[in-house]
Amino acid sequence: MILAVAKNRLFNLRRDRAAFVLAFVLPVAFFSIFAGIFSGSGRSATGRIPVALVDEDGSENSRRLVAALRAEAGLDARTAPATEKAEKNPAPLPPYTAASAEQAVRAGDVPVAVVIPKGFGERPFSFSPGGAETRPTLRVLADSSDPIAPQVLQGLLQRAAMTALPGAMARGGMAEVDRWSGGLTAEQKARMDEALRSIEAPPPPGQPEAPPRARSGSGGLVAVDVRDVVGQAKRNPTVTFYASALGVMFLLFSATGAGGALIEEAESGTLDRILSTRVSMTKLLLGKLVYLAVIGVAQLTLMFLWGWLLFGVELVPHLPGFLVMTVATALASSAFGLMLASVCRTRMQLVAVANLSILLMSAVGGSFYPRYLMSEKLQRFGLLTINAWAIDGFQKIFWRDAPVWSVWPQVLVLLAASAVFLVIARRVAAKWELA
Amino acid sequence: MPAAPLPLEIRDLSKSFGGRAALAGVSLTIAPGEILGLLGPNGAGKTTLVRSVAGRVRADGGSLRIFGLDPFANQARSVRGWVPQEIALYPLLSPRENLWTFGRYQGLSDGALEGGIRRSLDWIGLADRADEKTDRLSGGMKRRLNIAAGTIHEPRILLLDEPTVGVDPQSRERIYAMILELRASGVSLLYTTHYMEEAERLCDRIAIIDNGRVIASGTKDELVRNTVGGRETLVVEATAPLPAALAQELIGRGGQVDGATARFSVQAAGDEIRGLLERFHAAGVAVRNLTLKSPTLEQVFLQLTGRELRE
């Protein structure tokens, strides 16, 4: 009887072309847009940070610093605005000035700019407590709506300066030693000068100058070696994220939409007729749940298949985990949709309540952007949503290559949520059972 | 040997909604193969009674048995069919798919289900349109399909709630034929309608319900005899308005006069007709038309309830 109810809904879906398109075509189209935006973004979810560089000093040291910043893998540092790609032989644009760089940040062309002031090259480093007031200061111009770019840039600025200007740093350190030690002897000074000359000496003719080491910290004060332990061989991690993030959101929308058939049956008298047959309200709801879950599994499978075919999502190696998470997510979304349909009295009411609740859940639950970008409080709040648990489970499988059994917390929560929603739906649907 | 249980047996059934009594002690029975008509004005309790028999309303008091079974039991659901007043079908589905759905919901499967679908489509004359969307069918076709969805499992008792509402005369005749076929096959029917002529034509017995109670029941002749009696209505139409003196005399004899028309309630029609015609002739008034009408259910209803059936 439960399967008969599910089959009845499949008949309806097959005959309702608009519903079919909304269920399968729209989510894939939406996902394709996001995947197209983020595919090939490499390892970094945020990409390289565009930076406008202004060198007002023009000294050897400031030029070295500019070169080091341009070599940083995490930055897209430019001394002049980028030309239009559409032009065939574009004329180079004039270099940034402090004013034009500030304008570029205000206009949103770049999130951050760095201005190297006049005099920087003479004394780039200071080791004394009061040195900040006497040395020239690098000015960072930032857009306060982007909290990440300025923070990242400040860290990379310090590193670039240390690796690009070892001689200047050494001279500054020596000056402090001379001052605080009561004065170096002539012999000590001679030895220091010789060491500095070897640091600052240009490479022999024919040998190119070694570029600043922009990835590992081998040129810094503390030796650092960075090795990716997660995602080192991943293609398009952001695409995989959005396949699950958008997938669960669309599952919620289509489950509530299809669940609204219950309201239409009640209004048309069909529900009355059904309940006079051998189909009880419990069997009716379970049949609808089976149907909605099957459609949900099909929707997510289609999205991931599409992602695999077009955007390189690694589906095949993660098939068992994908199936487990897909079924759990589909069940939770379906039960949620049935619950909303039972609670609402009219289709219009259902649409309003569904839109509000699903958009809120999707925003807080991480369907629009990763939860790690949110405050801690919001991240905790997000755990009240199906979206958060579903996305976390998919990320475990696809990004962290975790074994299937490791998603048991996510699966448990999703299945528990399904049960709770279904119980609520059953209790509320009693209003239709008997007068 | 105990008698076989009746298809429907209701005793002192009562049901209230929010303090208002929808049923206030209804008692009636249906015999095997009988059509019982249920007449009553709006708000009389017909729908509540039908829904109680359909297992959609749980009564507050009294008893209701379908072939001796509790109306909420699965066995009762198997022997009972219900054709609601609304077209309770899936508009996007085809007749075949609708019949499949409700056949399965009644527990049919495999060969019995396929056979039921084929038989139903032939019976309602939609075999050639079995795979079109239901919302493309005419009103009459939808009504026939509505009946088929309630009878696909071959119930032994069928509840029909105003099955011909909004249907053209040709389709209505077809539905009447279907109902009579059901009765001929031994199905018992509870038939609610607002149309007196339907009740007079189809029903073996009629129950009149008002204010949650059955105020009269029986065959049409019994109801007429017990309410308006054997009196008939005689209508005399003259060629010109009646003279004042003649009109006064006719009113004094219990008639109603309206211009050139006079109405009388007569017992022994033959004697009274002769007497009236002599009076008209004596007054020099020519008679254009003479009509003798037997009592109708409408008159019975009006006498019992003080209201028209369709208000």
pLDDT tens-digit readout, A379-398 = 888 999 999 999 999 999 98
CB–CB contact B105 A272 (8 Å): no
- List CB contacts (< 8 A) between B131 and chain A: none
Give the least confident one: A141-145, B128-132, B203-207: A141-145
Q: Which of A1, A15, A276 sits opposite B93 (nearest CB)?
A: A15
Inter-chain CB proximity B101 and A4 less than 8 Å: yes
Greatest mean pLDDT range, A145-149, A190-194, B95-99: B95-99
pLDDT band at A265 (very low <50, low <70, confident <90, very high): very high
Range of the domain at A266: 236-434
Please name the residues in contact with A325: beta carbons below 8 A apart, sequence gap of 6 or more.
A244, A390, A393, A394, A397, A407, A410, A411
- Closest-CA distance, B94 to chain A, in angstroms, reads 9
Q: Which of A11, A15, A276 sits opposite B55 (nearest CB)?
A: A276
Q: Is residue A106 in some structural domain?
A: yes
Which has the closest alpha carbon to B105: A85, A188, A272? A272
Residue A267 shares a structural domain with residue A189: no
CA A347 vs. chain centroid, Å, equals 35
| Residue A13 in contact with partner chain B when CB distance is under 8 A | no
Identify the weakest region by mean pLDDT among A274-278, B3-7, B50-54, B119-123. B3-7
Nearest residue in A to B107, CA atom: A278
pLDDT of residue B16: 92
- Residue A116 near chain B (CB below 8 Å): no
Is residue A346 in a domain?
A: yes
B229 touches chain A (CB under 8 A): no
Name the residue with tokens 């507050």: B60
From the options 3.10.20.30, 3.40.50.720, 3.30.950.10, 3.30.70.2470, give the CATH code of B232-294: 3.30.70.2470
State how far Cα B150 lies from the chain centre.
18
pLDDT of residue A344: 92
A243 and A226 within one domain: no
| Residue numbers in A near B94 (CB within 8 A) | 15
pLDDT digits (tens, 9 = 90+) for A224-247: 656 565 655 556 667 888 888 988
Chain A residues within an 8 Å CB radius of B157: none
Whether residues A224 and A291 share a domain: the answer is no
- Region B13-35: what's the mean pLDDT? 93
Surface of A (245-304) touching B: CB under 8 A: 268-270, 272-279
Indicate the SS3 state at residue B127. helix
Judged by average pLDDT, the poorest of A111-115, A400-404, A405-409 is: A400-404
CA gap A290, A6 in Å, rounded: 6
Domain endpoint, select from A212, A230, A248? A230
> Which has the higher per-residue pLDDT, B58 or A48?
B58
pLDDT at B267: 74
Q: What integer pLDDT is reported at residue B148 of this predicted model?
A: 96
Q: What is the pLDDT of residue A232?
A: 57
Between A144-153, B129-138, B151-160, the lowest mean confidence (pLDDT) is in A144-153
Residue B104 near chain A (CB below 8 Å): yes
Decide if B86 and A269 are in contact by the 8 Å CB cutoff.
Answer: yes
For residue B279, give every residue at least 6 positions away whose Cβ sits within 8 Å of its Cβ, in sequence order, or none.
B246, B249, B250
- Whether residues A261 and A185 fall in one domain: no
Per-residue exposure over B50-75, b if at least 16 CB sit within 10 Å of its own CB, e if not: bbbbbbbbebeebebbbbebebeeee
Domain identity same for A121 and A141:
yes
Q: What is the pLDDT of residue A385?
A: 94
Same domain for A421 and A310? Answer: yes
**Residue where a domain stops, chosen among A181, A213, A230:** A230
Residue A79 CA: distances (Å) to CA of A54, A63, A90, A104, A130: 6, 11, 16, 12, 31
Q: Is residue A222 included in any domain, yes or no?
A: yes
Strand order from edge to edge, sheet including B80-83? B80-83, B157-161, B188-192, B35-39, B205-210, B213-218
- Contact status of B55 with chain A (Cβ, < 8 Å): yes
Q: Using alpha carbons, list the distances in angstroms from residue A337 to A8, A253, A285, A292, A357.
A: 18, 8, 11, 9, 11
Which ranges in chain B are annotated with CATH 3.30.70.2470?
232-294
Instruction: Judge whether A306 and A391 are in contact, CB under 8 Å.
Output: no
If you average pLDDT over residues A109-132, what whole number do you get?
A: 78
Integer Cα distance of A216 and A73 in angstroms: 10
Compute the average pLDDT of residues B258-268.
82
- How far does B46 lie from chain A, in Å, by closest CA? 15
Percent of chain B with pLDDT over 90: 62
Which DSSP category does B66 fall into?
B
pLDDT at A332: 96
Q: Is the pLDDT of residue A279 over 90?
A: yes
Residue A160 lies in a domain: yes
pLDDT digits (tens, 9 = 90+) for A80-119: 887 765 556 667 788 999 999 998 888 888 888 999 999 8
- Measured between its terminal Cα atoms, the distance across chain A in Å is 24
CA B151/CA B78 separation, integer angstroms: 10
Q: What is the mean pLDDT of residues B23-36?
A: 94
Tokens of A218: 């081998």
Same domain, A150 and A74: yes
Work out whether strand B20-30 and strand B8-17 pair parallel, antiparallel, or are unpaired: antiparallel
Confidence of residue A44 (pLDDT cuts 50, 70, 90): very low
> What's the CA gap between A392 and B197, in Å, rounded?
69
Asked if A11 lies within 8 A of B150 by C-beta distance, the reply is: no
Do A82 and A202 fall into the same domain?
yes
Distance in angstroms (rounded) separating the CA atoms of residues B47 and A335: 34
Note the pTM of the prediction, 2 decimals: 0.74
CB–CB contact B93 A270 (8 Å): no
For the segment B69-76, the average pLDDT, to the nearest whole number, is: 93
Any B CB within 8 A of A353 CB = no
CB-based contact A239:A40 (threshold 8 Å) = no
Cβ of B74 under 8 Å from any chain A Cβ?
yes
* Distance from C-alpha of A396 to C-alpha of A403, rounded to nearest angstrom: 8
Q: Which residues of A touch B58 (CB under 8 A)?
A: 434-435
Closest CA to A345 of A424, A264, A279, A283: A264
Task: Determine the average pLDDT of the residues in A4-12.
Answer: 92
Tokens of B134: 């239901």
Nearest to A277 among B84, B85, B102 (CB): B102
Cα separation, A221 vs A233, in Å, equals 30
Q: Are residues A223 and A262 in the same domain?
A: no
Residue A422 · residue A285 · CB < 8 Å: yes
Tell me the shortest Cα–Cα distance from B18 to chain A, in angstroms. Answer: 11
Within a domain: A209 = yes
Mean confidence (pLDDT) of chain A:
83
Q: Which residues contact B225 (CB under 8 A, 6 or more apart)?
A: none
| Residue A392 maps to a domain | yes
User: Are residues A190 and A253 located together in one domain of the fold?
Assistant: no
pLDDT above 70 for A346: yes
Q: Tell me which range, A56-65, A76-85, B229-238, is most confidently predicted by mean pLDDT.
A: A56-65
Express as a percent the part of chain A with pLDDT over 90. 36
CB neighbours of A1 closer than 8 A, spacing ≥ 6? A278, A279, A283, A287, B104, B105, B107
Question: What is the rounded CA–CA span in Å between residue B309 and residue B74?
Answer: 36
* Boundary residue ending a domain (A230, A248, A277): A230
Residue A90 in contact with residue A83, Cβ under 8 Å? yes
* Interatomic CA distance for residues B103 and B89, integer angstroms: 13
Our CA-based measurement puts residue B131 at a distance from the nearest CA of chain A, in whole angstroms, of 11
Q: Is the pLDDT of residue A255 over 80?
A: yes
Whether A11 and B97 lie within 8 Å, measured CB to CB: yes
pLDDT value for A97:
92
Q: In whole angstroms, what is the distance from residue A63 CA to residue A182 CA?
A: 34
What are the φ/ψ torsions at residue B291 (nearest 5 degrees)?
-130, 135
Residue B69 is given by DSSP the state B
The predicted pLDDT at position A231 comes to 59
Cα A14–chain centre separation: 37
Does A159 lie in the same domain as A285?
no
CB atoms < 10 A from the CB of B290, how many?
Answer: 13
Q: Give the model confidence (pLDDT) of A298-315 as tens digits.
A: 999 999 999 888 888 888
Q: Which fold has domain B8-226?
A: Rossmann fold (3.40.50)
Crossing angle of helices A319-343 and A281-311, in 10° steps, is: 140
For all residues of chain B together, what is the average pLDDT?
89
- Residue A227 touches partner B, C-beta closer than 8 Å: no
Chain B: nearest CA to A11, how far in angstroms? 7
Q: Do B77 and A434 touch (CB under 8 A)?
A: no
Answer whether A4 sits within 8 Å of B105, measured CB to CB.
yes
- Rounded CA separation A148/B125 (Å): 73
Confidence (pLDDT) at B68: 94
Check if A18 contacts B (Cβ < 8 Å).
no
| Per-residue confidence (pLDDT) for residue A178, from 0 to 100 | 76
Encoding tokens for residue A398?
């696809």
CATH 3.40.50.300 domain extents, chain B: 8-226
Within an 8 Å CB–CB cutoff, is residue B56 touching chain A? yes
Contact A276 B58 (CB under 8 A): no
Please name the residue that has the structure tokens 């309003």. Answer: A352
Give chain B's end-to-end CA distance (angstroms, integer): 48
Residue A215 banded pLDDT, cuts 50, 70, 90 = very low
Residue A359 lies in a domain: yes
Domain-located, residue A21:
no
Packing angle between helix B244-252 and helix B269-282, nearest 10 degrees? Answer: 160
- Which residues on chain B are in Cβ contact (under 8 Å) with A277? 77, 102, 105-106
Domains of chain A: total? 2
Token pair recorded at residue A40:
């090939």
Q: Among B74, B84, B94, whose Cβ lies nearest the Cβ of A273? A: B84
Average pLDDT over residues A372-380: 84
- Report the C-alpha gap between B62 and B178 in whole angstroms: 33
